[in-house]
């Protein structure tokens, strides 16, 4: 027959898990925002004493060393993970700058080719328009001269 597990066992495990989650989140926030927190919140002696008092009330004197130990381990693991991520980014992104420069120069070359093509075609079109204007002007002048001469003959 299976032994009955007291409800207090589950409650204590739930509290331990909750404390671990809260401590991990707190360590993460402290690590991430440490510079900003120091600049924004300048704690005096009374605030530190109050925080220690609250920790003592919440966790008890026996649990504080274990919490500090867990906090230290979590901070070390976080630092290891951060260093590993930085190393991977540096290794994988080493040639990224060269690739970006190559892409940029290719785009600049294509841009200048397109601009030159547009200038060439635009100048050809402007020449054609000038020729058409000249032909229309010459034709208009010829027609005007012919009409004037016919009007004089009548």
In tens, the pLDDT along 9-65 reads 666 776 777 777 777 777 776 676 665 555 556 666 677 777 778 877 887 778 778
User: Residue 133 has which token pair?
Assistant: 């204007």
For the question of whether the overall pTM of this predicted structure is more than 0.75, the answer is: no
Burial 14-49 (b: 16+ CB within 10 A, else e): eeeeebeeebeeebeeeeeeeeeeeeeeeeeeeeee
More reliable by pLDDT, 146 or 96: 146
Taking residue 107's Cβ as centre, other Cβ atoms within 10 Å add up to: 10
77-135 pLDDT, tens digit each: 988 888 888 787 777 765 566 667 788 888 888 888 888 888 888 888 888 888 888 88
Which structure tokens are listed for 75? Answer: 């901070």
């Amino acid at each position: 027959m299976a032994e009955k597990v007291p409800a207090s066992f589950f409650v204590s495990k739930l509290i331990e898990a909750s404390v671990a989650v809260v401590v991990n989140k707190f360590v993460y926030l402290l690590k991430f925002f440490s510079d900003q927190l120091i600049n924004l919140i300048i704690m005096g002696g009374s605030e530190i004493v109050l925080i220690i008092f609250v920790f003592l009330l919440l966790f008890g004197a026996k649990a504080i060393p274990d919490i500090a130990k867990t906090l230290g381990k979590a901070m070390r693991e976080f630092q290891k993970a951060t260093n590993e991520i930085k190393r991977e980014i540096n290794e994988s992104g080493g040639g990224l700058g060269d690739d970006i420069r190559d892409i940029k120069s290719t785009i600049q070359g294509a841009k200048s080719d397109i601009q030159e093509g547009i200038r060439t075609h635009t100048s050809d079109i402007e020449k054609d328009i000038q020729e058409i204007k000249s032909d229309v002007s010459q034709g208009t002048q010829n027609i005007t001269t012919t009409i004037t001469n016919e009007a004089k003959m009548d």
